[in-house]
Amino acid sequence: MTTFPIFQDNLGLHQFKKGELPLFATHFRLMHGYPNHHHEFVEISFVTQGEGTGIINGIEYPLTKGSISLLLPHHLHAMRLEAGASIEKFTVMFDVNLLFQPEFAEIGQWLIKLSEELVSTYDLAPKAFESMQDVLTALITEHRSDRLGKHGLMRIKLLEAVYLFFRSHPGFSELSHPVVSQSQEWDFIKYVNTHFLEDSLSLEQVASKFGVSIYTVRGAFKRLLGKNFLEYLHLLRVRRASSLLAATDMSVSEIAYDVGFSSFRSFTRVFKETTGLSATDYRNTHAVGDRA
């Protein structure tokens, strides 16, 4: 029987109230690992004490004090702890749309680079560790408070944490300057990030949704992300499919339809064009033992 990854419904689990910032933050001690799962939220996971093993898209990473991960919605992830071991860590989970803002356009570009080229986990140097710990502690304090301006300060601290993650990442030696965008353009990007698993999603649908021409939507993707609409949509779907191939025993056809392709033939073509491997070869190359 096919084993599907656990879906963690953050919206249902945390019961966000109307108007409340879709963000959850905590610092806790973990006494045991957890199984392979995914969720619609982005997650910052930051280890402050202890050791263990993180598994992202079927690849294992050692976790120790200072290990930090930025997990995107397409990432399947798990954690393994040795008997008697424990880990203390910050966990911040939030809606990806909080990062797609015109004033912080470079973040969208960095997220694409992270998804395409770089590992999502690395170890912070001591000074960066202290800075991240201070920011996330302040974020949790605001999250637990009822003070004036709570949501605004939470958003500020979240952005500060994300900027620190990229500034300290060894793969980001230079951070690019943001591309100037029109006020509505990032709404197109946000919409695609939220709906990319729907097989009906198209350039025409997005244009109709926002009452603009397809040329306006097409130009926004090319200018802001350096990719056309279909390239970006395929990137999101293939990254999600790659995760499922590496970390589950779902069949290739099940995965194709799960990630939004209405045609299995189209999926196999796009997957090979994007990764250079067939889906089966990718699984054989990247799958890990028991797929945690």
What confidence score (pLDDT) does residue 176 get? Answer: 58
Which stretches of the chain score pLDDT less than 50?
A: 1-14, 290-292
Give the span between the Cα atoms of 155 and 171, in whole angstroms.
25
Q: List pLDDT tens digits, range 41-58.
A: 899 999 999 999 998 877
- CATH no., domain 6-168: 2.60.120.280
Q: Which residues of the chain form CATH 2.60.120.280?
A: 6-168
What confidence score (pLDDT) does residue 118 get? Answer: 67
Q: List pLDDT tens digits, range 97-149.
A: 888 777 777 787 788 778 766 688 999 999 999 999 999 999 999 999 999 99
Give the span between the Cα atoms of 252 and 255, in whole angstroms.
5
Q: Which residues pair with 94 in a beta bridge?
A: 23, 42
What confidence score (pLDDT) does residue 130 get? Answer: 98
What confidence score (pLDDT) does residue 272 get? Answer: 94
Q: Which residues of the chain form CATH 1.10.10.60?
A: 185-286
Provide the CA 233 distance to its chain's centre, in angstroms.
15
* Other Cβ atoms closer than 10 A to 184: 14
Nearest CA to 29 out of 52, 10, 60 is that of 52
- CATH no., domain 185-286: 1.10.10.60
pTM: 0.74
